[in-house]
Amino acid sequence: MRRAPRLLGLFAMAACSANFLPASAVTDLRVIGARVEVEGDATRANPSPGEDVQVSVLVVDRGAEPSKDPDVPALTPPLLTWFFVACVPTPTRIGPQICSAPITPCDGCTGPPPTDRFAFPVIGFQVPPKEELDAVEARDVLLQGAVCGNGVPSPTAIQRFISGESDDLEPCEGPEIIPGVPIQGRFVTIQIPIERDPEDPNLNPEISTVTFAGKAWPPPYDEGVPRTAPRTGCERDLTDAERDAHPRAGSGPSNIELFVPRNSLQSYTVDGTDFTEEIQVSWLGDGGAFEVSFSFITDPAVSILTQWQAPPEDGLLVRFNFVIRDGRGGLDRVERGLCVLP
């Protein structure tokens, strides 16, 4: 079987860093992808016409410093607001896709919900019927809009972005939700492929395990990192037994290995040609340095290893996000953390 083409497209549009930091370095608010799940079967990544989908937009940021206000905790990422439009794209042969016919209703396209101001964007809508998609030769549907940290979406900027007029604008504006915390924002375009073969659907890949230094990821950040955990002072949260498994400031590189189940590398057929998926891995962290920003898992392998160098500063809580993509719309993500000790 042939391997699928390597696709490096990220679903967020953001300005390049002036100092050319690697893509693995998380230094500010970023949208790192979107996980699409078909209602009734969360394993499926690509919907068929007429089906309902749920789209979880994945937002990360550099860990927040301890708050100077005891009533305002450190929060990573900061309080989020967002505005999206779900739509069928305009027919085009070249250039980026832009919205044409809006899809309504769109549950969660504006947020956060009044019941949870700490929510992340989770958006639901129904894919239009086959006749509407075929009329414009649409092979996918779009979500376009903006995610803001500590500010609100700019209606004017978003309208110009969605219309394809310009993305060289500030997507978010004031007032600040928490005074003194910078406003950050990102324009976002999410392409959701329509299922090619409903009899053999594309499934979301899965991260089964991530290990550190050849062992199970050490607690207490082995299942995720609390959003309220500050960037410094993490050594206070470790037990004596946990300390031995966490890295030391300035120590030599450590191995990080990511594993997937074998069925995450799906085989599929396009126009009579058989392919096997490659899994693209994105290594992301807000401290230290990865050997590479991207890796690929190719059949028959079910894991990939890279190296991470701890930063020279001690007392830092480093947040990691590991994202895998199958090149056909499927995605999975896990978050982990390490405390850098003296």
* pLDDT tens for each residue of 21-67: 899 999 999 999 999 999 999 999 999 999 999 999 999 999 999 98
Tell me what the mean pLDDT of segment 141-145 comes to. 96
Tell me, what's the pLDDT at 71?
Answer: 78
Query: Within a 10 A sphere around the Cβ of 276, how many other Cβ atoms?
Result: 15
For the chain, give the mean pLDDT.
Answer: 91
Q: How many structural domains compose the chain?
A: 1
Per the CB < 8 A criterion, the answer to whether 331 and 325 are in contact is yes
Q: Quote the tokens at residue 218.
A: 């050490």
Average pLDDT value for residue range 93-121: 91
pLDDT at 6 over 60: no
**Using alpha carbons only, what angle is made at residue 157 by residues 153 and 159, rounded to the nearest 5 degrees?**
100
Least Cα distance to 83 among 112, 116, 53, 52 occurs for 112
- pLDDT tens digits, 224-242: 999 999 999 999 989 999 9
Query: Which residue segment(s) compose the domain that 270 sits in?
Result: 2-339
Sign for the CA dihedral angle at 224, 227, 232, 237 comes to negative
**Structure token pair of residue 97:** 């896709």
Residue 243 above 80 pLDDT?
Answer: yes
Q: Measuring CA to CA, which residue among 280, 311, 317 is closest to residue 65?
A: 317
pLDDT, mean of residues 5-14:
41
The β-bridge relationship of strands 267-270 and 140-149 is: unpaired
Q: How are beta strands 273-276 and 2-3 bridged, if at all?
A: parallel
Mean pLDDT confidence for 309-332: 96
Q: Which of 310, 312, 315 is nearest to 233 (CA)?
A: 315
pLDDT on residue 75: 92
**Model confidence, pTM:** 0.91
SS3 243: helix
Whether pLDDT at 12 is above 50: no
